[in-house]
Chain A
Amino acid sequence: MKNADVLKKAVERIPGAVYQGIGTARRYNTTSEHGYMVKLPGWTYPVTIDAVTGECSYDNYNGSWGNIAELDKLSQGYAVEAAKMVAEREGRECEELKLDDGSIKLVVSLGGGGYGVDPDGGAPVVGGWSV
């Protein structure tokens, strides 16, 4: 998680989460390394993300100071928002669907004005759109 814009969007997907900018977060008996800081809901101390490596550091005391599931949501949201940003920048249509198991499905159009036939049985397409 290295891109601040994508990270902010990922944070916005989690109710109660707050992006706290770049800095050094206080921990129980130490301070974090410098990086993006995100306060997750129910967490005592912010998660810190190294802006260069994208790696997270945190102190949740084996779950007592923060549910790891919230960090998983951030990772999921980042992957989704990063893919959507790429698709948008490339002018690709992108759909987001929530699946029953909690996964998120993104469908990114690859059509670029040519004709194609969907081997999965879909309708003939023009420029990525079914017609």
Chain B
Amino acid sequence: MAITGPRIEIIVDKKGSTATTVHGVTGGGCHTVSQPYEALFGAVTDTVATSEAYEDPELVEIKSHAG
């Protein structure tokens, strides 16, 4: 089943660059960023999610404000 609700869509191009959009969050609208992977989820902090670096800064936590 396709995910159609609040979601992050990540496009990883052929060279590994990422572009992230956030969809389906009330009040948040769609937020588009283009960041290296380290900032993948942190880039959407303002509208939807917060990120918190673990020991490995490439691995971050998604905290949803959806709904």
Contact = CB atoms under 8 A, between A and B. Distances in A.
Interface string B10-53: 11111111100011111001100000010011000000110000
A112 B64 contact: yes
A82 B59 contact: yes
A102 B14 contact: yes
B5 A118 contact: yes
Nearest to B44: A110
Identify the interface centre among A86, A110, A126, A127: most chain B CB within 10 Å of its CB. Answer: A110
Given A76-B16, A111-B67, A105 B9 contact: yes
A116 interface: yes
Given A109-B7, A116-B25, A3 B15 contact: no
Contacts of B48: 110
Interface residues of B, number: 39
A120 B11 contact: no
A92 B56 CA distance: 19
Given A103-B12, A105-B9, A110-B49, A116 B62 contact: no
B64 A111 contact: yes
Given A102-B14, A105-B9, A82 B4 contact: no
Contacts of B62: 86-87, 90, 92, 108, 110
12 contacts: A101-B13, A105-B9, A105-B10, A106-B10, A107-B7, A108-B9, A110-B25, A111-B6, A114-B64, A116-B66, A118-B5, A119-B30
